């Protein structure tokens, strides 16, 4: 950790007087175990380091920005990387709003997202967790034919950021997961389902729960048929809702708004969803797997209300989008990057909703007639975050007389993002944090087109 901070400090010390320099360094250590039919199929360990350097050159017409990254951390490579970033900056279009983050008055919160215990957790125990997961899935139900995989993975991430504008911060976090991908049924009627459990350390992992999930999700689809087309209410499983929240979050970042690519531009203060729907980014909640104390420019992360009681509150900002928006806009600590190879963009880390009061069973009962969607496919090809068109493949179970009925597959569900928000019937009480940048919760939405036979 000290090494990374030292590294970024060294890089920015090479800056000339006429430029701003920021260095972002990341170190990760990952272990992955995959087992198959009682044996270890793959065991891999990996350590990855990298540095991304941004250079901003001020000028009379505005600032120009360049970026370069390197996966080698020796002095020669780092200096070459800085030279490349500087050279790249000379081709940028001058822009008065470009520039690095400057420290603001928000202090990062201390987040309990790192576990020392992971470093000493033995490989044999990791293997045993994956083995146990596979055993439990196979033993749970005679209809389980095989598993594509049962796996254990863990990772440690350390990040340090320093800039000539006064940023010098760092954090580290750990994560552990197990996952099983089960195949159920005969060769004439194959269905699949996955199960998982995630935590910050191995003792937070619930292997039996992951196994039960994979078994339930694969076996309950056996005998699934293609439904007839209809317009109906849909109940989304928490895992599916998490994907929907991520898409929604993408439409609420200020970069999309400023560049004319958000369907919510100019709608702050307007009602965009039903009254019972509130969307919040909570990167300071340690239960969120996307939680970090600082953003990708080194500013403190902070809670951000995006939609409250159905009314659009505002957008996620990084330093540049806030400057460009002007007025009262300030960075919301929402700078994100894909890693050391990318420049900072804007995004949410821990999207969640205000939970409702009903369980999934109660929502199904209340909906009466519709479809429970267990998983969706083609999210990237079927959801257009600019136009709002929404059309994805799905599988799940019919809802009849307020109860789960026959399994169905090979159908699509379609609407628009705008309409779906206005037709939310219920938000569940079953909020849980899932891997990725969102929480999951049961969500019922009316007026969805189901396309099938």
Within 237-296, the residues that bind another protein by CB under 8 A are: 258-261, 263
Mask 325-344, x = binds another protein (CB under 8 A)? Answer: ----------------x-x-
Which residue is associated with the tokens 């894909």?
338
| Contact flag: residue 109 with another protein (CB under 8 A) | no
94: DSSP letter: P
Interface residue with another protein, options 387, 400, 403, 406 (CB under 8 A): 387
| Contact flag: residue 87 with another protein (CB under 8 A) | yes
Judged by CB, which is closer to another protein: 19, or 430?
19
Rounded Cα–Cα distance for residues 12 and 18 (Å): 13
Stretch that binds another protein, among 48-56, 206-214, 328-336, 356-364 (CB under 8 A): 48-56
| Binding-site size, another protein (CB under 8 A) | 80
Nearest to 306 by CA among 296, 317, 318: 317
Q: Residue 221 in contact with residue 189, Cβ under 8 Å?
A: no
Stretch that binds another protein, among 201-209, 242-250, 361-369, 377-385 (CB under 8 A): 377-385
Indicate left, alpha or beta for 379 from its phi (over 0: left) and psi (-120 to 50: alpha): alpha
Judged by CB, which is closer to another protein: 70, or 331?
70
Stretch that binds another protein, among 99-107, 185-193, 241-249, 362-370 (CB under 8 A): 185-193
Handedness of CA 199, 204, 207, 208 (dihedral sign): negative
| Contact flag: residue 453 with another protein (CB under 8 A) | yes
Strand partners for 407: 397
What DSSP element (H or E) covers 393? strand 389-400
Stretch that binds another protein, among 39-47, 106-114, 200-208, 300-308 (CB under 8 A): 39-47
Judged by CB, which is closer to another protein: 364, or 392?
392
Stretch that binds another protein, among 4-12, 74-82, 292-300, 429-437 (CB under 8 A): 74-82
Interface residue with another protein, options 3, 16, 46, 269 (CB under 8 A): 46
> Which residues make Cβ contacts (< 8 Å) with residue 61, sequence separation at least 6?
94, 96
Residue 320 in tokens: 């540049």
| Closest CB 191 distance from another protein, rounded Å | 7
Interface residue with another protein, options 13, 16, 75, 93 (CB under 8 A): 93
Interface residue with another protein, options 17, 47, 105, 116 (CB under 8 A): 47
Rounded Cα–Cα distance for residues 182 and 185 (Å): 10
| Contact flag: residue 125 with another protein (CB under 8 A) | no
Interface residue with another protein, options 11, 57, 66, 257 (CB under 8 A): 66
Length of the chain: 453
- Of 393-422, binders to another protein (CB under 8 A) are 393, 395, 409-416
Judged by CB, which is closer to another protein: 95, or 216?
95
Judged by CB, which is closer to another protein: 37, or 359?
37
| Contact flag: residue 88 with another protein (CB under 8 A) | yes
Interface residue with another protein, options 6, 104, 148, 368 (CB under 8 A): 148
Nearest to 427 by CA among 305, 273, 216: 273
| Closest CB 359 distance from another protein, rounded Å | 29
Residue 415 in tokens: 């609407």
| Closest CB 106 distance from another protein, rounded Å | 27
Interface residue with another protein, options 13, 16, 40, 338 (CB under 8 A): 40
Rounded Cα–Cα distance for residues 196 and 203 (Å): 14
Measured CA distances, 155 to 51, 166, 348 (Å): 19, 30, 21
Give the burial class of 347: count Cβ atoms within 10 A of its Cβ; 0-12 exposed, 13-18 middle, 19 or more buried: buried
| Contact flag: residue 49 with another protein (CB under 8 A) | yes
| Contact flag: residue 137 with another protein (CB under 8 A) | no
Q: Read off φ and ψ for residue 36, nearest 5 degrees.
A: -150, 125
Judged by CB, which is closer to another protein: 9, or 377?
377
Rounded Cα–Cα distance for residues 345 and 321 (Å): 9
Judged by CB, which is closer to another protein: 246, or 451?
451
Interface residue with another protein, options 8, 12, 57, 85 (CB under 8 A): 85
Judged by CB, which is closer to another protein: 138, or 302?
138
| Contact flag: residue 382 with another protein (CB under 8 A) | yes
SS (H, E, C) 300-367: ECCCEEEEECCEECCCECCHHHHHHHCCCCCCCCCEECCCCCCCCEECCCCEEECCCCECHHHHHHHH
Indicate left, alpha or beta for 235 from its phi (over 0: left) and psi (-120 to 50: alpha): beta
Q: Read off φ and ψ for residue 243, nearest 5 degrees.
A: -65, -40
């Amino acid at each position: 950790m000290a090494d990374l901070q030292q590294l970024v400090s060294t890089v920015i010390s090479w800056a000339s007087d006429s430029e701003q320099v920021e260095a972002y360094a990341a170190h990760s250590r990952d272990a992955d175990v995959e087992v198959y039919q009682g044996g270890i199929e793959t065991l891999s360990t990996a350590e990855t380091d990298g540095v991304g350097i941004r250079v901003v050159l001020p000028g009379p017409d505005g600032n120009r920005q360049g970026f370069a990254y390197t996966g080698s951390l020796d002095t020669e490579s780092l200096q070459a990387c800085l030279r490349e970033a500087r050279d790249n900056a000379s081709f940028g279009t001058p822009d008065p709003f470009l520039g690095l983050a400057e420290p603001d008055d928000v202090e990062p919160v201390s987040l309990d997202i790192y576990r020392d215990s992971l470093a000493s957790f033995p490989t044999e125990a990791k293997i045993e967790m994956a083995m146990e997961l596979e055993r439990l899935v196979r033993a749970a139900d005679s209809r389980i034919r095989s598993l594509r995989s049962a796996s254990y993975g863990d990772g440690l991430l350390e990040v340090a950021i320093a800039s000539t504008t006064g940023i010098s911060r760092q954090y580290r976090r750990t994560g552990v997961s197990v996952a099983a991908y089960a195949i159920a049924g005969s060769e004439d009627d194959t269905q699949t389902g996955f199960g998982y459990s995630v935590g910050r350390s191995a003792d937070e992992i619930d292997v039996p729960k992951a196994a039960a999930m994979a078994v339930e999700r694969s076996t309950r689809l056996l005998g699934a048929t293609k439904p007839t087309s209809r317009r109906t209410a849909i109940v989304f499983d928490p895992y599916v809702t998490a994907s929907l929240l991520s898409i929604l979050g993408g439409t609420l970042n200020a970069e999309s708004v400023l560049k004319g690519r958000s369907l919510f531009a100019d709608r702050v203060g307007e009602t965009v969803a039903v009254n019972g729907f509130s969307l919040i980014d909570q990167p300071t909640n340690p239960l969120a797997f996307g939680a970090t104390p600082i953003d990708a420019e080194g500013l403190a992360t902070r809670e951000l209300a995006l939609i409250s009681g159905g009314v659009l509150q505002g957008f996620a900002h990084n330093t540049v989008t806030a400057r460009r928006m002007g007025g009262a806009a300030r960075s919301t600590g929402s700078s994100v990057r894909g890693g050391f190879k990318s420049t900072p963009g804007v995004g949410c880390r821990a999207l969640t909703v205000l939970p409702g009061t009903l369980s999934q069973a109660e929502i199904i009962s209340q909906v009466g007639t519709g479809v429970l969607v267990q998983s969706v496919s083609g999210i990237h090809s079927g959801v257009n975050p600019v136009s709002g068109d929404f059309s994805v493949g799905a599988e799940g179970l019919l809802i009849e007389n307020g109860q789960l009925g026959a399994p169905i597959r090979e159908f699509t569900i379609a609407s628009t993002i705008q309409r779906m928000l206005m037709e939310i019937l219920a938000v569940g009480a079953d909020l849980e944090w899932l891997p990725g940048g969102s929480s999951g919760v049961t969500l019922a939405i009316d007026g969805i087109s189901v396309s099938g036979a």
